[in-house]
């Protein structure tokens, strides 16, 4: 089973993301409502894909992205950033920091499902 970690401080948004991915086969979901909780999940489970919000209460998602990319155990995990920030500066900084994909809210369920499926297949090992 592939493990997907959905990180967003909104329970509604986490559920919308998971509902959008319901057609993916052999996946199990983990949820984190904060960036610190996300880091805990990384330590406790072999995560195959992370979907990460940037605007969070305890630390910025970009900090988590940089942490993941800088840690040898996690650096190859594909990360979809899903955020309300649609400006080019945020997009550029996030992709430069190592995001695999950058999507903005509101999102198209089909697009996030396609991106997640592609990344899971590309990084299968």
pLDDT in tens, 82-108: 999 989 999 999 999 999 999 999 999
| CA angle in degrees (0–180, nearest 5) for 125-19-60 | 70
Task: At 25, give phi and psi (nearest 5°).
Answer: -95, 150
CA distances from 29 to 1, 32, 71, 95 (A): 10, 10, 22, 24
Pick left, alpha or beta for residue 26 (phi over 0 → left; psi -120 to 50 → alpha; otherwise beta): left
Domains and CATH numbers, the chain: 2-76+100-122 (3.40.50.2300)
Q: How many CA atoms lie within 13 A of 39 on its CB side?
A: 17
The predicted model gives 9-28 an average pLDDT of 95
Prediction pTM value: 0.94
pLDDT, tens digit, 9 for 90 and up, residues 30-69:
999 998 899 999 999 999 999 999 988 777 889 999 999 9
User: 96 CB contacts (<8 Å, ≥6 apart)?
Assistant: none
User: Would you place residue 125 in the very low, low, confident or very high pLDDT band (cuts 50, 70, 90)?
Assistant: low
Residue 7 clears pLDDT 90, i.e. is over it: yes
H helical segments located in 1-125: 11-20, 35-44, 61-70, 88-97, 109-122
CA 75 – CA 17 distance, rounded (Å): 23
């Amino acid at each position: 089973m592939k493990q997907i970690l959905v990180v967003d401080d909104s329970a509604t948004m986490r559920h919308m993301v998971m509902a959008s991915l319901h057609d993916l086969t052999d996946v199990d979901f983990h949820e984190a409502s904060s960036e610190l909780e996300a880091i805990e999940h990384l330590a406790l489970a072999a995560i195959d894909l992370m979907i990460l919000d940037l605007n969070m209460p305890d630390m910025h998602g970009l900090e988590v992205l940089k942490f993941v990319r800088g840690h040898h155990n996690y650096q190859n995990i594909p990360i979809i950033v899903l955020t309300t920030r649609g400006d080019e500066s945020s997009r550029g900084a996030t992709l430069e920091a190592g995001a695999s994909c950058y999507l903005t809210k509101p999102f198209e369920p089909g697009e996030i499902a396609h991106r997640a499926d592609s990344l899971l297949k590309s990084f299968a090992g």
